[in-house]
């Protein structure tokens, strides 16, 4: 029976996502993806052209989901500290689901910085920054937080969220923990990040 093209493409994409998460981008080959999706290398290359293009699709998928959730949160009427916790939760949810993305971004920064910058600019991250700056300004006027430069705040928060995932391989060795154990530690670490960020904002 002839297979539906869209179903085959979706199966290849689903399998690639699973293998990238399980084994990492570098340790996953097109041959691995073809075998696990019950296709062949020629089909994978025909539909997606390369392993890199496959990961780019997955990156776009994750980035778009995160952006929608962050902007929805920033546009809401949540109390400010609850809003901050929700934003951090959103980053952690995305990074737990797509743990290879921080390393992918680092590689892109080193190898294809112009292409990465152009891709991110198309997502209009400045609108998210402006929304966060607006909320921070409102809280400063209320006197609930200390004077906080929005860019510094965002850089600090992103660093605290992303670094544990970049550090994952070395971190598991330092903690003498398996990858699974370290992943659980990261999720628990989120509570510390939330508290650390909120304490840094309070007067």
pTM of the entire structure? Answer: 0.81
Q: Could you tell me the residue ranges of all domains in the chain? A: 1-49, 56-201
Homologous superfamily, domain 56-201 = Tetracycline Repressor, domain 2 (1.10.357.10)
Rounded CA gap, 100 and 55, in Å? 10
Fold that domain 1-49 belongs to in CATH: Arc Repressor Mutant, subunit A (1.10.10)
DSSP-derived letter for residue 1 is: -
CA 19, 23, 24, 25 dihedral sign is negative
Distance spanning both ends of the chain, measured CA to CA: 67
List residues bridging with 145 in a β-sheet. 202
Q: Residue 193's pLDDT is what?
A: 95
Per-residue confidence band for 3, with pLDDT thresholds at 50, 70 and 90: low
pLDDT digits (tens, 9 = 90+) for 27-40: 889 999 999 999 99
Digit-coded pLDDT (tens) for 133-174: 999 999 999 999 999 999 999 999 999 998 888 887 777 888
Has residue 66 got a pLDDT over 50? yes
């Amino acid at each position: 029976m002839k297979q539906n093209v869209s179903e085959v493409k979706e199966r290849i994409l689903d399998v690639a996502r699973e293998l990238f998460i399980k084994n990492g981008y570098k340790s996953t080959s097109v041959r691995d993806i073809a075998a696990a999706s019950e296709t062949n290398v020629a089909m994978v290359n025909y539909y997606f052209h390369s392993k890199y293009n496959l990961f780019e699709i997955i990156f776009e998928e994750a980035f778009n989901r995160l952006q929608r959730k962050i902007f929805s949160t920033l546009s809401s009427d949540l109390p400010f500290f609850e809003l901050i916790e929700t934003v951090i939760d959103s980053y952690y949810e995305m990074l737990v689901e797509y743990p290879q993305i921080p390393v992918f971004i680092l590689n892109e920064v080193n190898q294809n910085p112009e292409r990465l910058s152009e891709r991110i600019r198309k997502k209009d991250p400045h609108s998210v920054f402006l929304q966060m700056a607006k909320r921070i300004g409102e809280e400063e006027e209320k006197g609930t937080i200390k004077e906080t430069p929005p860019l510094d705040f965002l850089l600090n928060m992103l660093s605290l969220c992303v670094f544990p995932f970049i550090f994952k391989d070395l971190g598991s060795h330092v903690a003498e923990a398996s990858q699974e154990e370290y992943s659980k530690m990261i999720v628990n670490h989120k509570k510390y990040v939330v508290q650390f960020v909120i304490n840094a904002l309070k007067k």
